[in-house]
Every structure is written in C-alpha cells, then in structure tokens.
C-alpha cells in the first residue's frame, strides 16, 4: 500500500460472490422486480432479523414512508423522532402530512432518551421512531413501555444497525415495524434498497399491497387507494443475497475495526468513541464515531480539513433536524443533540480497511491533537 493512497470514509465490500449472483440475475432475464432473488432476499432477511415478514423496497426512506402510511399516520398527527438522525427520518414523516416532533438523545449512546420521549407525547402523537444511530441500539424496552402505556405505534429506524442486538434479540424485532437501508455505505448494500420488517401479518399484507401501486389481488389494474412503486429489483436483491450470506464476516470485520481504533485512541484525553458492547447491548459498528471535548464546530471542521490533507476522509456528525430551515417549526429543547453534533465526526469504517491503515489514521490523529 502506498503512503499517499487516499483512505475514503466508506466503500462497499464486493466479492466474487456478489459478482456471481448479480451476473446470474442479469443472465436470467429477471432484471425487474419479479424474480427468485427478491423472494430469497426477503426470506433470508426475515430470518436474519428473527421476524415473520420482510418486505423489500427501493430504499430506506421509502421503507420509512411505507411504514408510516401502513400505520395510518397522516395529516394532523405528530411523530416523535430523535433530533440527532439522518434527515430521511424526518422527511418520511413530512411526506405523510404529519408533523415532526424532535426529542433529545443520550450523551453517551447518541440514541433517543426515553425521559425526553415521555415528555413529548401529546394526544396527537401517532408514532415514535427510535433510531439505532451509527449502529447503537436505542433502549427499546423503555421506549416500548412508554409507547404501550399511551397506545402509540413504534417504528424502529434500523437503517444503520443491521445485526445489532439488545438483550440478545436483534434490532427489528422490537417495534411494530422496523426499516433497514441498503444504500452503498450501509452495513449491507444493494446499491440502493430498503426493507420493512414486521411480525404482524396485517402490516405485511398492507405494505406489499401499497408497495405495488395498491393493485387489487384478484382484479388486475384495479386500484382503490393511491399506492406507490416502491419495489426492489431482482438485480439489487441478488447483491443483497450475497451480502447477507457474508453477514457474519462483514459484521465481525467491522467489530475488529472498532477494536483497533479503540486500542489506539480510547486512552487519549478528551476523546470519546462509540460505546463498547455490554452484557445487554451489542452494537454494530456502522461508522466509527470520534468526538473531542475541546471541539467547537470550527475546530472540528479544521480537524477534518487537516485529516483530508493527510489523505484521510471523514464526515461530520448529523446536524440537528430542528436546526434545518424546513423544520424551523419544530421547537425542540435538545441541548445534548446540539452539543454532540458539533463535536463529532466519523472516521473511515469500511469492511476492507486494513489494520495498517487504521494505525496510520490513528498516528495522524495523535499528531494533530498534540
Ligand atoms: C440511510 C438512512 C436512511 C435512509 O435510507 P436510504 O436507503 O438512504 O433512503 C434512513 N434513516 C437513517 C438513520 C439512515 O442512516
């Protein structure tokens, strides 16, 4: 490896297995949204998540939108999300006509704080979307207790957390519905793609119906409600089947990447990385999270520029949703979100990152922090 090679933040892991399956899909002529890989991917993913049903869709954002529509969320409703998340969580709510309500996150885990959630519930609250941010599971038992007390539906946004576990149960089994993304930088990728999972047969049926233009089952080209084309193609699913066969390998490699960063950086004063696993919480390491307690937004950005000059890519933490112009109406009191958002960045985290590259990145970080 040359010293001057640029290390990107993210890169999909594509092997001969992916090539073989995608080629088989192309050769078969089943390149659209019917085909054996679609069914195979759905079955394998349902098994992976220990749920009854998995419904493949064209991306994670559409999976969220579909989940909300299936649960009957619409105009006049409120949906509670964490203020620290990718914008898609909020936008999917907006597509339905419902209003976004943002609550704060926990400073250590960066996921929804149940105490803040409880305070944000109103008679209009129709759904709660906890996000398993950067691969760390949200505290689902506490969130579900609150949701059940108020009879509110829960959608897990597990777009970044395939394979993470809580109390030995994977994310995706906890909510009424959960969604996953298979975008190019996610733990498993199909290029673009998403999945809605559930163990409730009514939700499964409704999601399949709406995914395919709400076409009547026994009268073709008859439609009684406005549906969507949110289908995944057999080509994407072929990639997904291969990635899922490699699930253990992929997640293990990401765990080792975190371990190596942790060994190198966790003793540095002022530095915080992703939380380590505990008895009840087994995160996956979608992206390495790096925070320094001395960082202001400018200092963090200057640090990222310096990394780039050294050939190392990075990206800032998400900005608070409530800070963005289109969510100006969201009057959130979310001090933790605002504080961590400016202090945090993600470091190169992809599966094929070598130990030598991680060590090189850490040497540069130590030099920059001196
Ligand atoms: C990636 C992501 C999504 C959206 O998934 P796409 O497949 O990119 O549409 C939703 N929520 C979170 C938290 C994400 O990281």
Please state the separation of Cα 318 from the chain's center in Å: 12
pLDDT (mean) for 144-155? 98
Q: Is the pLDDT of residue 4 over 80?
A: no
pLDDT (mean) for 150-158? 98
Q: How distant, in Å, are the alpha carbons of 94, 252, 291, 303, 346 from that of 259?
A: 38, 10, 16, 23, 15
pLDDT at 1: 45
128 beta partners: 80, 154
In this structure, the residue with its CA closest to atom 6 of ligand 1 is: 60
Give percent of the chain above pLDDT 70.
Answer: 99
- Ligand 1 touching residue 61 (CB < 6 A): yes
Angle between helices 234-245 and 16-28 (to 10 degrees): 150
pLDDT, tens digit, for every residue of 210-225?
Answer: 999 999 999 999 999 9
Q: Compute the mean pLDDT over every residue in the chain, rounded to the nearest whole number.
A: 97
Tokens of 222: 């008859």
User: Which atom of ligand 1 approaches the CA of 64 most closely?
Assistant: 10
**Terminal CA-CA length for the chain:** 27
- Ligand 1 touching residue 58 (CB < 6 A): no
E-only strand ranges, the chain:
53-57, 78-82, 99-103, 125-128, 153-157, 165-166, 169-170, 177-181, 194-198, 271-272, 281-282, 288-292, 315-316, 344-347
- Ligand 1 touching residue 240 (CB < 6 A): no
Q: How confident is the model at residue 5 (pLDDT cuts 50, 70, 90)?
A: confident
- Ligand 1 touching residue 322 (CB < 6 A): no
Tokens of 149: 């007390």
Q: How far is the CA of 60 from the centre of ligand 1 (A)?
A: 5
Task: For ligand 1, pick from 179, 183, 191, 193 the residue to mutate: most ligand atoms within 8 Å of CB.
Answer: 183
Q: How confident is the model at residue 229 (pLDDT cuts 50, 70, 90)?
A: very high
Q: How far is the CA of 221 from the centre of ligand 1 (A)?
A: 31
Q: Is the pLDDT of residue 289 over 80?
A: yes
- Ligand 1 touching residue 131 (CB < 6 A): yes
In this structure, the residue with its CA closest to atom 14 of ligand 1 is: 159
- Ligand 1 touching residue 156 (CB < 6 A): no
Phi, psi of 74 (to 5 degrees): -165, -160
Q: How confident is the model at residue 363 (pLDDT cuts 50, 70, 90)?
A: very high
For the entire predicted model, the pTM comes to 0.97
Q: How far is the CA of 235 from the centre of ligand 1 (A)?
A: 20
Give percent of the chain above pLDDT 90.
Answer: 98
Q: How confident is the model at residue 255 (pLDDT cuts 50, 70, 90)?
A: very high
Largest CA distance in the chain: 70
CA distance 279 to 50: 20
Q: How far is the CA of 76 from the centre of ligand 1 (A)?
A: 25
Q: Is the pLDDT of residue 10 over 50?
A: yes
- Give buried/exposed letters for 333-352 (b at 16+ CB in 10 A, else e): ebebbbebbbbbbbbbbbbe
In this structure, the residue with its CA closest to atom 5 of ligand 1 is: 60
Q: How far is the CA of 129 from the centre of ligand 1 (A)?
A: 13
Q: Is the pLDDT of residue 2 over 50?
A: no
């Amino acid at each position: 490896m040359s010293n001057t090679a640029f290390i990107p933040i993210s890169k999909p892991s594509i092997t001969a297995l992916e090539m073989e399956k995608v080629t088989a899909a192309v050769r078969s002529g089943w390149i659209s949204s019917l085909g054996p890989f679609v069914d195979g991917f759905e079955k394998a993913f349902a098994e992976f998540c220990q749920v009854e049903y998995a419904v493949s869709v064209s991306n994670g954002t559409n999976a969220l939108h579909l989940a909300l529509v299936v649960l009957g969320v619409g105009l006049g409703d409120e949906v509670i999300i964490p203020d620290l998340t990718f914008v898609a969580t909020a936008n999917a709510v907006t597509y339905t006509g419902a209003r976004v309500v943002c609550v704060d996150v926990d400073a250590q885990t960066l996921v929804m704080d149940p105490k803040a959630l409880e305070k944000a519930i109103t008679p209009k609250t129709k759904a709660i979307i906890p996000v398993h941010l950067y691969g760390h599971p949200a505290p689902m038992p506490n969130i579900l207790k609150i949701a059940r007390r108020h009879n509110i539906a829960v959608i897990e946004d597990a777009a970044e957390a395939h394979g993470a576990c809580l109390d030995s149960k994977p994310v995706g089994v906890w909510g009424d519905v959960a969604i996953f993304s298979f975008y190019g930088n996610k733990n498993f990728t199909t290029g673009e793609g998403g999945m809605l999972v559930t163990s409730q047969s009514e939700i499964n049926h409704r999601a399949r119906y709406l995914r395919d233009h709400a076409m009547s089952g026994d009268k073709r080209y008859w439609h009684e409600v406005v549906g969507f084309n949110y289908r995944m193609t057999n080509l994407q699913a072929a990639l997904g089947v291969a990635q899922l066969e490699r699930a253990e390998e992929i997640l293990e490699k990401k765990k080792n990447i975190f371990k190596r960063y942790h060994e190198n950086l966790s003793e540095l004063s002022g530095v915080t990385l992703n939380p380590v696993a505990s008895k009840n919480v087994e995160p996956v390491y979608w992206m390495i999270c790096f925070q320094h307690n001395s960082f202001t937004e400018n200092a963090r950005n200057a640090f990222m520029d310096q990394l780039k000059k050294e050939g190392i890519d990075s990206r800032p933490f998400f900005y608070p949703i409530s800070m963005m112009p289109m969510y100006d109406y969201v009057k959130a009191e979310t001090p933790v979100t605002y504080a961590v958002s400016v202090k945090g960045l993600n470091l190169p985290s992809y599966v094929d990152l070598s130990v030598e590259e991680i060590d090189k990145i850490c040497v540069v970080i130590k030099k920059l922090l001196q």
